[in-house]
Structure 1
Amino acid sequence: MKNSIKQFNLILILLISSSFTVFSQTGSIKGKITNKGGDALQFVNITIKNTKQGTISNEDGEFLLKNVKVGDQTIVMQFVGLKTVESKVNVKANSTSEVSFALEESSSELSEVTVMGVQSANEKTVNIGKIAIKPMDLPQAVATIDRTVLERQQVLRLSDALMNANGVYIMGNTGGYQEEIAGRGFAFGSSNTFKNGARYFNGTLPEMSSIEKVEIMKGSTAILFGNVAAGGILNLVTKKPKFESGGSVSMRLGSYNFYKPTVDLYGSVLGSKKVAYRINGTYENGESFRENVNSERVYVNPSLLFKLSDKTEIILEGDYMKDRRTADFGIGAINYVITGLPREKFLGVKWSYFDIKQQTANVTVNHQISNNWKISGTAAYRAYQSELFATTRPTSIATNGTLVRSIQRSEVDEKYLMGQIDLTGQFKTGKIAHNVLIGSDVDSYDTKTTAYTSAVYDTINVFSETIVDKRSDRPTLAVNTITTAPVNRFGVYAQDLVSISDKIKFLAGLRYSYQETKSSALAVRTNVTTESSAYDDAFSPRLGLVYQPNKKMAFFSSYSNSFTLNTGVDIYGSALKPSLIDQVELGMKNELFNGLLSANITVYQIKNSNLAQTALFDKDGKANSNTNIRELAGEVTSQGVEVDIKSKPFLGFSLLAGYSYNETKYTKSNIYIVGSLLRYNPNHTANASIYYTFSDTKLKGLNLGLTAMYFGERMAGRSTRLTVANDAFKLIQVNPYTQIDASVGYNFKKYSIRGKVSNILNELSYNIHDDNSVNPIAPRMVSLTLAYKW
């Protein structure tokens, strides 16, 4: 028996050794492609002749082909308007062959109308999806706002970028220090906002100078991330290290004494072919169209790339941001009517502030096991600290304009840890192809919130021509409560995209999530601690079907289920169960005019059929007035349609446009009027951007752009309560508006100059939270950016 075991072990070792020998008989081809003028060419198609292996060059003209068979291989390089080039490359085992090419213009092709070889909206996979599935094969609406758009529009804030995304919008900016995001009628909290795949605290303004692209997955993503809001998720992808040395420096100047120098450096470390770096940094300082409001920011984003081999790489990334700005809760409302004060009028005290510090660190390991299998792991850490010291929101302005100002102070200290591992692979069972994702994630929050007592400060009249502070001191406030709220989550998930044929594909997946939520609140005055805990778990299924009658068209349908946790207890004192949310989505994706234009349409319904609301009666049948005692008695339904249009560059023009309609309302409620709309969500949004770049003329290097966004009518204020006699709550109707921005840029060799005029029509509208943070949108403003790139 022992001899048999030894023989078996010997055979097994030989088989494993031979397998490694077979797999090792591959190498890599690394190269760079330029035109005859030495300029890097992006989106050149590179393939190995007589195989299906291929890739495209990046923005620096670089490409890398992995796992290429040893020996002489012929690579083919194709780009519309340039001559196709074939070249032999000798590939050696376990090594990288480096090549470079300069492509020439093709007169025969240039005489025709051509489309540049950029990827369409339906060809770009999103990193946040955890698996490389082309949008054409995915039964879900996705969108990517890439660096080209961000640079052309001279994006400063995330809200500028979201002018290009219908159905995802800014629902408020409470205090002027954050941009509250929503989509399809549901708010995106920090659980729905990601940076490089890790959850990012969105209670402050993210720095956009380091962002390479913005990814949006609409609808349910619960299978990938657990309890996320139903409307979708947003992922900010930062710029990555490069082995080629380069960089840029720029200075942005703008209205209201705004200035922002920025630096971006990248290259190999000490000439190494294994280690590359990148570092972005910026300083920002400016005043505001709002009186006595200003801001200052410091930001740095270093990263390192380690190429351990052709199959294994490690990326280390981190950033640090320190931001200080005036807390500004807007112009207020009187009896649920906006005061109508001048856009610039500030009702707070001059010394008020909101300070934040945020540090993040990420490590990502990618290993290509074989041509078809890949394993990836990510670990992330985030530390966030903030302090708010300001007047409270102007909630009780008298009809004559009298406002008693009170002072508030609070501090937040949050630590966040995340770990994630994913295995992706492709294989076949007979003629059926599979694209599989198997993964697990765990994350942990530890949040400490210190709330101080509030105190009356002084009294002003908001209609006074000039607001004069009657005091200038910062009062001493006593600590009121200290609350710690640890949250621990764990999830495992599996998903398979099954290609039954070239035309029919089926997506199926399932996730199990477990979450522990605890809270400990210390009332400092009484030294009494109140504790609570909840343990929740849920399964989140996902099913989708894609039918592609041809390679340029796809029809899809999908069903998914997600959950959201609830606070409070039921009438028996037990922790309230999670609310379950069902989503159905139907759509069509098209590549029209031979891929020149992507045109997609999506319709959806999202239903939370067990929405938590205040219980009407307690366990003894008596009327209940405790808002912490709740029941799953409500229902919210969101229905809508979205249209997305995006073109490739054509004769110098490029187009990006979209439209969305959404209606989110109470379809069952024991508190609010059935049929009433949820607040902050516009029924209609639309966007359109058009750009033109001059070429082969005396104006070569000049580009022009126009961006328009329509933001429809929506409601703020407070929803009327059926359970309160003569309820004084009212909704505030917020007017629609259209914002138009114009941009112009000129590139000359390594220099560029860009100008922008935002809100050309000087439109006035408001972002409103309840009835107490009524913040006007920015008026017409001008900015100018000078840059040098090498």
Structure 2
Amino acid sequence: MKQIFPSHYFLLPCLILLLLLATFGFVAAQQHTQAPSHEYVSTGAIKGIILTSDGKPVEFASIMLKGTSKGDMSSEDGKFHLRNVKEGTHTIITKYIGIPDQEKEVTVIAGQTSFLKVLLPTSAQQLNEVVIIDKKSANQKPVSVGKIAIDPMDLPQSTIIIEREVLEQQQALHLSEVLQNVSGVYQMGNTGGTQEEIASRGFAMGSSNTFKNGSRFNNGVMPELTSVEKVEILKGSNALLYGNVAAGGVLNLITKKPKFESGGEVSLRAGSYDLYKPSLDVYGAVNNSDKVAYRLNTTYEKANSFRNIVNSERFYINPSLLIQATSKTQLLLEADYLKDNRVPDYGLGAINYSIPDVPRNRFLGATWANYEAIQKTATATVTHKLNNAWTIKGVTSFQEFSKEEYGTGRPSSTNIKGDGTFTRSLQQTGIFEKYYLGQLDVTGNFSTGFLKHNLLIGADVDRYRTEVPTYAIFADRSNPQKASTAYDVINIFNPETFASQRTDIPGTKILTTAYTPINRMGTYVQDLLHVTDKIKVLAGIRYSYQRTNSGTAKKYDAAFSPRAGVVYQPRKATSVFASYANSFAVNTAISVTGRADLPPSIIDQYEVGVKNELFKGLLSANVTAYRIINSNVAQLILPATANNAFELAGTTASKGLEVDLMSKSIRGFSFIGGYSYNDTRFIKSSVNVEGSRLRYNPAHTANASLYYTVTGNNKLNGLNLGFTSFYIGDRLAGRSTRTNVANDTWQLMPLPDYFLFDTHIGYTLNKVSLRVKVTNLFNQLSYNAHDDNSINPIAPRQFTTTVSYKF
């Protein structure tokens, strides 16, 4: 077999890049922390500590030698160090957000170190009231979706957390806006305008890859962000933790938790196209108890759209209760309810696999079309600390999801003629799903000889109960008893035909219902071995079992999912890693036996990377390279058999590079940036052209966000500014080109790349905040697509304003 992308051609430059970055981080640290090898007799040094008036150390204070460019920043213990200071008396200026500058004189003697203690005129409590600084960097925040608290610097895997502060600054309304802060995770489609299809590293993040508080949720509806505290992304293979999840990564929404102090927030958001969204968040202790706390989030949203006819209305509520049963046992109860109604919108359509030149706002569906989704979830989490080293955590959850949609069919190359004539048919779809999960994890820290262990042992069981009805539609006016989906004819270029379109709603009925129960279970063990302070090894394995019932047929699948990785830390602030893991995908196609008995496809993933904490942790700079190979893709047997049987004969490969940058807030400034390169192709295929790209995946993405908050004793205190940019490269939609198929008319359809620029400004006075945001500042036009039948233009320039009051 000819390899299109030999692995050594890909891995060699990546390894060189990682080595250079690791060397850069190490050399930079040495230059920052080590004294020069030679000593000038006319210079000395100044060491010092910054404390609050009540004796607490102050981190991130800026220390400057007056009249020079020499300076330092205080560490977590409040200490600083200035080297090569000329002999004599100098003035040290100490700056900290919200505190007047402090000046103190110090005398430097050649060849000696002078000591200086600076006291800020405020207590630690008052300092926190002036400005809240997260003392943990991006590489110090473990992701809860990893099931065990592992320092990201010890984890041979890429992780990203987007905090609530960013969501508020960006006034994020949709999940896709949040993910614009994450390299390599992107929106791949927008089917019907009712959901956002998310992907990573060339693989779709379906409902098996999306989680809320650690439990799967159906992403067939747009999730509500009002209650979200943070968004976690654990990139790469996570089959050991969750079974048959796609190889690109998993996404976890963490909702806001109860608090024992009383408070809350009420807000109103309004924006372009009649967007109105009031929200309420309230929390506190039940009857001033120190054992039981509550929280309630709720919101209502109503909006029109830049697309004619299209509108939406949704309601959401999220109650939660925290019970501190004992000092070691905690029970967290969470639930939410979402009802989403909107007009389904399959966009502009395609003519011969090309996007037609029609106005951005033109709607091609029926005026009465409707989509309704209802999602209910309930989760109970019990956490019990056996002692300081061992913890047991149990999770049980339930989800009920239903979706019904009725309207005209998708406009595509198969039903729109070259002159724009669109023969519309009707379609009705539905799904009714119940999902149950039970999960138990035991985590612990212990030592065996010189080895330190961070151990995870767990098991989970879950089951789906899914019903999918088939509908009969009676659209024939002349014979209402005859099943027919033919509706009417319009011309997408001629608005006059829209005025004469049919507006009646033909009757329907359910013909059959397919009932598909799925039962799954898995057991897993994972251990992080601390071999030395600089070398860590992560190893584990999972066994998964799944039974699928389809009518009278039963299908059994089982797979082992190992993972192994090594981490080398030449210094505390630099971590270099390499790892291997695999995942599996269940195949439901018919094999040559005439039964759905194809085994799972096993997907191998190799990953190398470097994580750097630069400038005393002020900037996290991470680079990851990966290669993902699915060497047994299910492919149609050619020439086709009578029952269109499949075999495991195809190969796809995904390779890529990701860069993630994230800073802490310093002097009011903070930054998020990233870049990703991805190339996913058919390497071997009996159906698709070998070497062709898989659809929907951009070759390049990039993002950069800069925020500034004014603090201190001035009139602009409370003002915050932000600028965000996002780039998504060229992608392909349409139908993947095929080989060995006579008279094949399928084509790939290129989608243009685009830049998005957003700006936002906010001002907070006491407890009242006002935020204004402009999205798509330069009114760029591009599209999200699904095949050639849901070509949805991105939104034009829009304005949003949010007023909130905290109490």
Q: Where does residue 253 of structure 2 map in the other structure?
A: 236
Partners of 1:598 and 1:115 lie apart in 2 by 19
* 2:600 counterpart (578, 588, 601): 578
* 1:257 counterpart (267, 274, 277): 274
What's the CA shift for 1:43? 9.9
Stretches of structure 1 lacking an aligned partner (at least 5 in a row): 1-34, 45-55, 57-78, 84-101, 521-530, 618-622
Partners of 1:115 and 1:462 lie apart in 2 by 54
* 2:140 counterpart (123, 129, 134): 123
CA contact (8 A) 2:456 2:527 kept: yes
What's the CA shift for 1:471? 1.8
What's the CA shift for 1:286? 0.6
CA contact (8 A) 2:159 2:233 kept: yes
Q: Where does residue 427 of structure 1 map in the other structure?
A: 446
* 2:502 counterpart (471, 491, 494): 471
2:492 maps to 1:462: yes
What's the CA shift for 1:624? 2.4
Q: What TM-score, normalized by structure 2, do the two folds share?
A: 0.82
Q: Where does residue 491 of structure 1 map in the other structure?
A: 522
Change (3 A) 1:743 1:36: farther
Q: Which range moved further: 761-770 or 461-470?
A: 461-470
Give CA deviations for 1:574-611 in whole Å, capped at 9, x if unaligned. Answer: 41111000000000000011111100000000000000
Q: Which secondary structure state, in structure 2, belongs to the residue aligned with residue 769 of structure 1?
A: coil
CA contact (8 A) 2:97 2:668 kept: no
Residue identity over aligned pairs, in percent, reads 54
Q: Which amino acid aligns with 1:542?
A: R
Q: Where does residue 406 of structure 1 map in the other structure?
A: 425
* 1:594 counterpart (607, 612, 616): 616
Partners of 2:58 and 2:685 lie apart in 1 by 55
Q: Where does residue 612 of structure 1 map in the other structure?
A: 634
Q: Which amino acid aligns with 1:282?
A: T
Q: Please show how residues 353-432 of structure 1 align to structure 2 within 5 Å.
A: 353-395=370-412, 396-432=415-451
What's the CA shift for 1:570? 1.5
Q: Where does residue 574 of structure 2 map in the other structure?
A: 553
Give CA deviations for 1:114-166 in whole Å, capped at 9, x if unaligned. Answer: 99553111001101000000111000001001101000000101011011011
Q: Where does residue 104 of structure 2 map in the other structure?
A: none
CA contact (8 A) 2:53 2:123 kept: no
Give CA deviations for 1:410-457 in whole Å, capped at 9, x if unaligned. Answer: 221110000000000000112211000000000000000112135111
Partners of 1:430 and 1:337 lie apart in 2 by 66
Q: Which range moved further: 658-667 or 646-655?
A: 646-655
Q: Which secondary structure state, in structure 2, belongs to the residue aligned with residue 364 of structure 1?
A: strand
Q: Which amino acid aligns with 2:535?
A: I
Give CA deviations for 1:616-670 in whole Å, capped at 9, x if unaligned. Answer: 25xxxxx52643x100000000000000001111121100000000000001101
Give CA deviations for 1:50-80 in whole Å, capped at 9, x if unaligned. Answer: xxxxxx9xxxxxxxxxxxxxxxxxxxxxx99
CA contact (8 A) 1:367 1:376 kept: yes
Q: Which amino acid aligns with 2:296?
A: I
* 1:198 counterpart (215, 223, 241): 215
Partners of 2:700 and 2:776 lie apart in 1 by 19
2:766 maps to 1:766: no
Q: Which secondary structure state, in structure 1, belongs to the residue aligned with residue 791 of structure 2?
A: strand
Q: Where does residue 655 of structure 1 map in the other structure?
A: 671
Q: Where does residue 72 of structure 2 map in the other structure?
A: none
Partners of 1:417 and 1:468 lie apart in 2 by 48
Partners of 2:429 and 2:373 lie apart in 1 by 12
Give CA deviations for 1:446-479 in whole Å, capped at 9, x if unaligned. Answer: 0001121351111111111352253211101243
What's the CA shift for 1:759? 0.4
Q: Where does residue 13 of structure 1 map in the other structure?
A: none
Partners of 2:471 and 2:693 lie apart in 1 by 35
What's the CA shift for 1:615? 1.2
Q: Where does residue 538 of structure 1 map in the other structure?
A: 559
Q: Which secondary structure state, in structure 1, belongs to the residue aligned with residue 716 of structure 2?
A: coil
CA contact (8 A) 1:81 1:106 kept: no
Q: Which amino acid aligns with 1:508?
A: A
What is the count of residue pairs matched by the alignment?
Answer: 682
Q: Which amino acid aligns with 1:728?
A: T
CA contact (8 A) 1:80 1:115 kept: no
Give CA deviations for 1:214-238 in whole Å, capped at 9, x if unaligned. Answer: 0000000000000000000000000
Q: Where does residue 223 of structure 1 map in the other structure?
A: 240
What's the CA shift for 1:209? 0.4
Q: Where does residue 170 of structure 2 map in the other structure?
A: 153
Change (3 A) 1:497 1:190: same
Partners of 2:806 and 2:160 lie apart in 1 by 28
What's the CA shift for 1:566? 0.6
CA contact (8 A) 2:594 2:643 kept: no
Q: Which range moved further: 447-456 or 750-759?
A: 447-456
Q: What TM-score, normalized by structure 1, do the two folds share?
A: 0.84
Give CA deviations for 1:489-530 in whole Å, capped at 9, x if unaligned. Answer: 00000000000010000000000000011123xxxxxxxxxx
* 1:674 counterpart (673, 677, 690): 690
Stretches of structure 2 lacking an aligned partner (at least 5 in a row): 1-51, 61-75, 77-95, 101-118, 474-484
Q: Which secondary structure state, in structure 1, belongs to the residue aligned with residue 140 of structure 2?
A: coil
Change (3 A) 1:36 1:727: farther
Partners of 2:358 and 2:340 lie apart in 1 by 28
Partners of 1:43 and 1:568 lie apart in 2 by 59
What's the CA shift for 1:688? 0.4
Provide the alpha-carbon RMSD of the alignment. 2.3
Partners of 1:750 and 1:701 lie apart in 2 by 11
Partners of 2:273 and 2:470 lie apart in 1 by 34
Q: Where does residue 795 of structure 2 map in the other structure?
A: 778
Partners of 2:534 and 2:98 lie apart in 1 by 32
Q: Where does residue 68 of structure 2 map in the other structure?
A: none
Partners of 1:42 and 1:211 lie apart in 2 by 30
Change (3 A) 1:36 1:786: farther
Q: Where does residue 92 of structure 1 map in the other structure?
A: none
Q: Which amino acid aligns with 1:311?
A: K
Q: Which range moved further: 465-474 or 590-599?
A: 465-474
Q: Please show how residues 164-203 of structure 1 align to structure 2 within 5 Å.
A: 164-203=181-220
What's the CA shift for 1:775? 0.5
Q: Where does residue 88 of structure 2 map in the other structure?
A: none
Change (3 A) 1:303 1:333: same
